[in-house]
Structure formats: C-alpha cells, structure tokens
Amino acid sequence: MHSENAGQKIRLILSKIIEEYDLGLLTSSVLSLRMDGFLKDVGVDRFLFLKVLAGLKTRGLVTSFLLRKGSKVRSEHDDKQDFDTCGIGLGIDFRNRAEQYLSELSKEGSNKNSLILYLDEKGNFWHGNNKEDFCYKMGKDTIPHKILRFLVESDGLQNTEKIASILGNKKKKTVMNDIGEMRAKIKLNLQLDDVIKNERPDGYCIDPKYKIVITK
C-alpha cells in the first residue's frame, strides 16, 4: 500500500489501536478488539484491516494476531473468513514505536501533497513540465534570485536583517520592498499564492506546502 489513501487508512487503524491500548484493553501484552465496532469506527473492511496488521507485524509493532469467530480460531492468513474478535500481540515498546511510525506516515503524506517548483542557476523559477508556461524569470544572481535561493536553502523563518546581510547589508525597508515585489511577480507568473510567507513581526520563509528543487 503506497498511495496516500492507503497511508491514511494505516494511520486511522494504528491510531485506533493506540486508543484501545490506552483504554487498557490489554491482557498479557495482547490487545483484544471487537471487530464490528472497531471496523465501523475506522471505516475499513476486514480485508484491509488484516493487510495493515500484516504490515505492522513486518515492522515489529505487532508480534501476532489471533482471529476468532465465536469459540473457533481463524487463520490470520485467510482474509476471506469472518471473525468477531481479534487478539493482537504487541511488540516491545509498542506505544513509542507506534507514535514514531505515525509521525513518519504523516511526513510522507505531507511530502506527497507538496507542489513541486523548480529554480535553476539562471534565475528561472517555475512549475509544470513547460518552463515557459508558469515561469518567473528573475535573472542570474539578481537580488530576487539571491533572496529566493537563500530562503530555499535555509531552514525555517529568516528575519529581514539576516536576509539583508547576504545582500551586502541593504536597508531593511529595501529588502522588505524587494520581497513584496517578488511575491507579486510569483503570483502573477506562477499563479500561486504565498510561496514566500511573511510571518509577523519580521520574517520570511518558503511555505511548506511547496517543495522547491534547485536545478541547473
């Protein structure tokens, strides 16, 4: 399961397992789940539930799962059989490792949702397959090119004084005007809002919903 939708389902199922774990439905490291309510809460069918459990078992978060229909034990390898309850054996340090995996899944989902933009060494800034369709041509080593590249290569919020320092200590007001013009031209040429975010009281960064790739 590699799609974003599959990732969402894994997060839903694992989050619900953590929730049941926190409620104390645990006996000798085995979590017992009543399937009708569980599957209804997360909105998945038995087939997907078993597939996710198998994946969690591969990662060591789950050590085993025992399926039951009444008093009869079902095979965990037969996803076509019906079952009422599921006993899930949990791995060592389950809670912390599960939270870590959820964090990884969230980051993967965030990256997949990012719009990819491109910045080349000549100062062309664009998105899409055709550089001419949505492109802001800043020119090589111009002020806009230097500012944008600095923001792309820096982590987090950058204050105006720091940006001014890489431009030969330009005045703060001048830098703010330069960035204001850049934002307007990016919106005009790329048809995108707030690629450069202005965070009060005084700072700028690239909006995390955009992934900017520096190319030749």
Task: Tell me the two tokens of residue 9.
Answer: 């389902």
Average pLDDT of the residues in 73-88: 67
Q: Phi and psi of 67, rounded to 5°?
A: -100, 140
Q: What residue spans in the chain does CATH classification 1.10.10.10 cover? A: 115-215
- Maximum average pLDDT range among 39-43, 128-132, 160-164: 160-164
Is residue 182 scored above 90 in pLDDT?
Answer: yes
Does domain 115-215 correspond to CATH entry 3.40.50.360? no
Task: Tell me the two tokens of residue 195.
Answer: 């690629």
Greater model confidence, 111 or 139: 139
In the prediction, which pLDDT does 25 show? 64
Q: How far is 20 from 87, CA to CA, in rounded Å?
A: 12
Is residue 108 scored above 80 in pLDDT?
Answer: no
Is residue 3 scored above 60 in pLDDT?
Answer: no
Pick the CATH number of 4-112 from 2.60.40, 1.10.1200, 1.10.287, 1.10.10: 1.10.10
b or e along 150-169 (b: 16 or more beta carbons within 10 Å of the residue's beta carbon)? bbbeeeeebebeebbeeeee
Please give the mean pLDDT across all residues of the chain.
Answer: 84
In the prediction, which pLDDT does 102 show? 85
In the prediction, which pLDDT does 193 show? 83
Confidence of residue 116 (pLDDT cuts 50, 70, 90): confident
In the prediction, which pLDDT does 203 show? 87
